[in-house]
Structure 1
């Protein structure tokens, strides 16, 4: 499977989006990202496309922590 049908755990989704796991959980609480299913352990799974859209929407509102850190590193 590819694109929107690629599944990832919350930890993988956070790494993909370049945000802390708590930020990803905040997106879920606020309704910006919806889990697409559960794995065998009962943990949320997210679709790649959904995570990418949530990250892009957040980026359009301001910098993510990862992009801010990269900007600071470049400036130093």
Structure 2
């Protein structure tokens, strides 16, 4: 009987150690970390794209149209 109790006690102790090591393990990258990285990338990309659209719409395109008109203005 003592041998069965000792064997059960060892089994429970080993399982408790395995569970503790699994729950305290912080080696892997979690889903939350990955989701936050993707969200930050998407937001920064959208801001960059909006800035480029604003720059091209207000600054580059009118100047480009003016220069092309001046280049092909044969009247003088």
Name the structure where helix makes up a greater proportion of residues: 2
Q: Which gives a bigger RCO, structure 1 or 2 (Cα 8 Å, sep 6+)?
A: 1
Question: TM-score interval w.r.t. the shorter chain?
Answer: under 0.3
Give the TM-score, by structure 2 length.
0.24
Q: Pick the structure with greater CA Rg.
A: 2
Give the TM-score, by structure 1 length.
0.24
Name the structure where strand makes up a greater proportion of residues: 1
